[in-house]
Amino acid sequence: MPRIAVISVHTSPLAPAGGHKAGGMNVYVGELTRELGRRGNAVDIFTRRTGDEPTVVETENGVRVIHIDDGNADFSNPEEAYIFLPRFLRSMYCFLESDGASYDVIHSHYWLSGWVGNMLARRWNIPHVTMFHTLGEAKNRARISEHESARRISTERRITATADKIICASQDERNILVRHYNVSPARIRVIPCGVDLDSYHPIDKAEARKRLDLDGSPLVLYVGRIEPLKGIDILIRAAGLLDEEGIPFQLLIVGGDDKSSTERRNLEMLAKSLGIDDLVTFTGAVSHDVLPLYYSAADVCAIPSYYESFGLVAIEAMACGTPVVATRVGGLTSTVRDGETGYLIPWRCPEPFADKIETLLMNEDLRRRLGEAGRQAAEPYRWQNVADQVEGAYHDLLDLTQESYS
């Protein structure tokens, strides 16, 4: 079994999802490495120390999360973290000198980690697998007010030029890498994200609402970070249209932390201006073991994003038997089957969102049918299937490495 160095600089798999720097990527890193560890792989995850965390936290099956000091306990955006990457790298070398671990393959996540992964691969002369999760070029093209830096995009280009294998979660992301980063398709492997179907499964709606202290009102759910790219303002405006039509509902927005307080206040003011502030509730981030209750309690899960490289929330909702109404962008075009497990909205405006949400709220049979289809559609996304494919990518590279020395 290979020994794997996983680099996740700016977000830890131990952090609760929904925060400023903790979303689908830290879920992915945590779940994938857990499954790899179950199979006997030796996995070390290197991430930044942000507080008083122990240097080494051993999770189940021998996976280690190793907290590295980079001299910058907190940062407001990845650009700030970039400046401290050389210090992160030096601190990592110091740890490994005393620990004595060596590795067969590197797997980096996000462009900051990709920079570190490139340096390590060069020094250790081992294969480097990278996964970006989001791409600067794609974000800038998705929304006119997005301003991902030239530094980020140039760093992504260097990583794509040197990494041995690039894993991406959807065909849409693969196309972006080929078209806008000039990556050879031979170095790309499309492997979807996964979901723990033992945890994410349908729960009786009345029981879920009772445990969450929710009433019986029709419930529309949003789960994710609170930031402009997520399009939550579109959803709130759609909710305003539902209210004008006299459609009963509650809108629950799950996610966000202190770093997103400004955007949250803006959204709260928008809801108040539309006269629906009493119908919109912000819960903040919640733990993963509670999320299935929220999905099961909801009648509809809405994903109004301008850009999603995969759309993990859609799969989680579908696994819990809840239909999805999502923007027709990025990986969502692969995960949501329009008219079968939910609806894809081709326009980033509130009217079509309101129309499809109303259709689902007013038709219990339709909700049930789409929810049942969603649960079936989620089956291929089990983490065991994802880990099979990722392990395959590792072994392909290691076989090539061994051939080059034979």
Can you give the pLDDT at residue 19? Answer: 52
DSSP, collapsed to helix, strand or coil, labels residue 41 as: coil
Domain boundaries, position 107: 3-194+382-405
Residue 258 and residue 160 share a domain: no
Percent of the chain beyond pLDDT 70? 96
Residue 243 and residue 188 share a domain: no
Residue 138 lies in a domain: yes
* 155: its two tokens: 């760093």
Residue 200 lies in a domain: no
Residue 175 and residue 62 share a domain: yes
User: Could you read off the pLDDT tens digit of each residue along the chain, which spans 406 residues?
Assistant: 789 999 999 888 887 655 555 567 888 999 999 999 999 999 999 999 988 889 999 987 889 999 999 877 666 677 888 999 999 999 999 999 999 999 999 999 999 999 999 999 999 999 999 999 999 998 888 887 778 899 999 999 999 999 999 999 999 999 999 999 999 999 999 999 999 999 999 999 999 999 999 999 999 999 999 999 999 999 999 999 999 999 999 999 999 887 789 999 999 999 999 999 999 999 998 888 899 999 999 999 999 999 998 889 999 999 999 999 999 999 999 999 999 999 999 988 999 999 999 999 999 999 999 999 999 999 999 999 999 999 999 999 998 766 554 4
Residue 213 and residue 189 share a domain: no
Residue 199 lies in a domain: no
Residue 225 and residue 180 share a domain: no
The CATH number for 130's domain is 3.40.50.2000
Can you give the pLDDT at residue 71? Answer: 75
Q: How far, in whole angstroms, is CA 250 from its chain's centroid?
A: 25
Can you give the pLDDT at residue 76? Answer: 63
Give all strands (DSSP E) within 203-348, no chain letters: 219-223, 250-254, 280-284, 300-303, 324-327, 342-345
* 196: its two tokens: 């723990």
Q: Are 310 and 303 in contact (CB under 8 A)?
A: no
Residue 372 and residue 262 share a domain: yes
Residue 235 and residue 171 share a domain: no
pTM of the model: 0.88
Taking only the tens place, the pLDDT of each residue in 226-249 is 999 999 999 999 999 999 999 999
Taking only the tens place, the pLDDT of each residue in 178-227 is 999 999 999 999 999 999 999 999 999 999 999 999 999 999 999 999 99
Residue 393 and residue 328 share a domain: no
Q: Looking up tokens 């009217």, which residue turns up?
A: 351
Residue 146 lies in a domain: yes
- Looking at beta carbons, which pairs linking 266-270 to residues 24 or more positions away fall under 8 Å? 266/233, 267/226, 267/232, 267/233, 267/236, 270/233, 270/236, 270/237
Residue 176 and residue 245 share a domain: no
Residue 213 and residue 178 share a domain: no
216/109 Cα distance (integer angstroms): 41
Q: Are 70 and 91 in contact (CB under 8 A)?
A: yes
DSSP, collapsed to helix, strand or coil, labels residue 46 as: strand
Please choose, from the candidates 144, 173, 146, the residue with its C-alpha nearest in 3D space to the C-alpha of residue 311: 173
Residue 26 lies in a domain: yes
Residue 293 lies in a domain: yes
Residue 172 lies in a domain: yes
Can you give the pLDDT at residue 265? Answer: 96
Can you give the pLDDT at residue 406? Answer: 46
Residue 91 lies in a domain: yes
Query: Domain count of the chain?
Result: 2
CA distances from 99 to 44, 60, 94, 102, 214 (A): 12, 20, 9, 9, 49
36/40 Cα distance (integer angstroms): 7
Residue 131 and residue 43 share a domain: yes
Residue 60 and residue 12 share a domain: yes
